[in-house]
C-alpha cells in the first residue's frame, strides 16, 4: 500500500470522528493528513512527511479556532438581555432613586433610572442595562432617537 493512501485514509477517518466529537480538533488532523497524503506523492521521506503533517495540522488548527470563535461570538443575546437597546414607555412613574414600571416589547417590566432621576409616566425610554430583575433605563430626549 502506498504512503499517500495511508495518509488520506487516516485523514478521512479523522473527519468521520469529528462528526461525533465537535471542537475542530480531529478536523485539523484530518485536513493535515489529507494534505500530507497529497504531498507524499512527491516526498518519499517519512520523517519529512511527519514534520509536514505536524506543521499543516498546527496551521489548520489555529485557523479553524479563529473561525469557530467568530462563529460563536455571532450568537445573539436571548431572554431579558435581548431587551438592551430597545425602547419603550413608562407606565408607572420611576421615582428618584426608586423603581417604576415600563412597557417594552409589549411586556411590563420593573425599571430603575440610570441617572437616579424621576422619569414621568408616558415618557419614552431606552433600556441601557439589566440589573437583576429590573431594567435600567434612560429617558429619550426628543431628537435623540
So what's the pLDDT on residue 23? 76
Cα–Cα dist 114/99, whole Å: 11
Tens of pLDDT, residue by residue over 69-123, are: 777 665 565 677 788 989 999 999 999 888 999 999 889 999 999 888 899 999 9
Question: What topology is assigned to 79-139 in CATH?
Answer: OB fold (Dihydrolipoamide Acetyltransferase, E2P) (2.40.50)
Confidence at 65, pLDDT banded by 50, 70, 90: confident
Going by the DSSP 8-state scheme, the letter that residue 94 receives in this structure is B
Span of 25-29, 67-71, 76-80, 125-129 with lowest mean pLDDT: 76-80
Going by the DSSP 8-state scheme, the letter that residue 77 receives in this structure is P
So what's the pLDDT on residue 76? 61
Do residues 120 and 95 lie in contact, with contact meaning Cβ atoms separated by under 8 Å? no
Pairing mode, if any, of strands 134-139 and 107-113?
parallel
Per-domain residue ranges of the chain: 3-73, 79-139
Q: Which residue has the cell 435623540?
A: 144
So what's the pLDDT on residue 34? 97
So what's the pLDDT on residue 22? 75
Cα–Cα dist 49/37, whole Å: 8
So what's the pLDDT on residue 125? 95
Of 53-57, 66-70, 80-84, 132-136, the range with the highest mean pLDDT is: 53-57
So what's the pLDDT on residue 42? 93
Amino acid at each position: 500500500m502506498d504512503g499517500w493512501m495511508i495518509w488520506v485514509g487516516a485523514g478521512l477517518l479523522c473527519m468521520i470522528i469529528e462528526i461525533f466529537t465537535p471542537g475542530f480538533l480531529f478536523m485539523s488532523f484530518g485536513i493535515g493528513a489529507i494534505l500530507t497524503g497529497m504531498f507524499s506523492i512527491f516526498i518519499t521521506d517519512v520523517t519529512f512527511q511527519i514534520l509536514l503533517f505536524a506543521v499543516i495540522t498546527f496551521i489548520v488548527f489555529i485557523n479553524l479556532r479563529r473561525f469557530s470563535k467568530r462563529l460563536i461570538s455571532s450568537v445573539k443575546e436571548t431572554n431579558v438581555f435581548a431587551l438592551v437597546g430597545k425602547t419603550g414607555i413608562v407606565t408607572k412613574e420611576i421615582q428618584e432613586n426608586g423603581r417604576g414600571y415600563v412597557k417594552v416589547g409589549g411586556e411590563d417590566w420593573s425599571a430603575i433610572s440610570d441617572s437616579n432621576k424621576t422619569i414621568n409616566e408616558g415618557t419614552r425610554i431606552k433600556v441601557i442595562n439589566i440589573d437583576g430583575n429590573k431594567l435600567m433605563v434612560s429617558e429619550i430626549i426628543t431628537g435623540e432617537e
